[in-house]
Amino acid sequence: MKRPLLALACLAAFAPPAIALAGESGGSLQWANGAAFATEYVWRGQSLTDGKPAIIGELKLNHDSGAYAGIWAGNLDLGPGTDTSAEIDYFLGWAKRIGQLYVNAGYLYRQRPSDILSLDFQEVTIFASYDFGVARVGAGSYYAWDYFQGGNSTYNYANVGVPLGKPRGVQVSAVVAAGHHDFSNRAIGDYSNVDLRLVAQHKSWSYSIGYSDTDIDPGRSGLLTRNQSDARWRAQALVMF
């Protein structure tokens, strides 16, 4: 599917690059929209903008029951010969906080328009975290049955967020995350990644500085972005509205 017509009529992403939840009260439905500027778009340890800056936006509609749907979009550069410059993710799911426990399950359609290659794929995901006060610990998984490079893929990850204080009313926290990407197409090559971030939040704004690395060997990996998966620093500014 190079330029599919999607049946989803909904307006994120589960990804990371992640735009956080925020809401505008108005009954049983609330909007949670955001926009971000980043020095680059790093996804599971891979730079998907070839080391260049990224502009990201998300529209999300939440229901009091926990159901949600939305659309996430950002610029993209997967390298020469891919003929794609954007990613558009359509998603829906259910998320709920029960005391200190948070759970989230959903579906995504990742669209990367190209006239040369079929780069789209779908994922289902589940995530759970628990807030212990001194730290929030979470773990989750993504599964794609039609990964664009062939076969299926599973990405399992865990993260720990630790609040560091609130100087001058700015909430500062540290986040450590690690994941492993497994592919049934052995020509791609499995890999692991780690991500460290320092996040500062004030009102509707959030700023972060992050460092990521992978164990990808460009000489042996079959990933399209194998040459953009080394250790790198990045920064991001996010606003919710």
Q: Is residue 9 part of a domain?
A: no
- The pLDDT assigned to 63 comes to 96
Q: Report if residue 141 sits inside a domain.
A: yes
The answer to whether the pTM exceeds 0.85 is yes
> What's the Rg (C-alpha) of the chain?
18
Q: How confident is the model at residue 81 (pLDDT cuts 50, 70, 90)?
A: confident
Structural domain tally of the chain? 1
CA 32 to chain CA centroid, nearest Å? 16
Domain of 47 in residue numbering reads as 29-240
Note whether residue 19 is domain-resident.
Answer: no
Q: Lowest-pLDDT range, 81-85, 87-91, 162-166? A: 81-85
Q: For residue 80, how many other CB atoms are within 10 A of its CB? A: 7
**If you average pLDDT over every residue of the chain, what do you get?**
90
Q: Where are the beta strands (DSSP E) in the chain?
A: 29-31, 34-38, 42-43, 46-47, 54-63, 67-75, 86-98, 101-111, 121-131, 136-144, 153-165, 171-183, 191-202, 205-214, 232-240
**Domain membership flag for residue 17:** no
Residue 119 in contact with residue 149, Cβ under 8 Å? no
Q: 149 vs 18, which has greater pLDDT?
A: 149
CATH of the domain at 102: 2.40.160.40
Residue 99 pLDDT greater than 70, yes or no: yes
Identify whether 2 is part of a domain. no
Q: Quick one: pLDDT at residue 215?
A: 98
Q: Is residue 23 part of a domain?
A: no
| Within-domain flag for 138 | yes
Report yes or no on 78 lying in a domain: yes
pLDDT tens per residue, range 21-41: 444 445 699 999 999 999 999
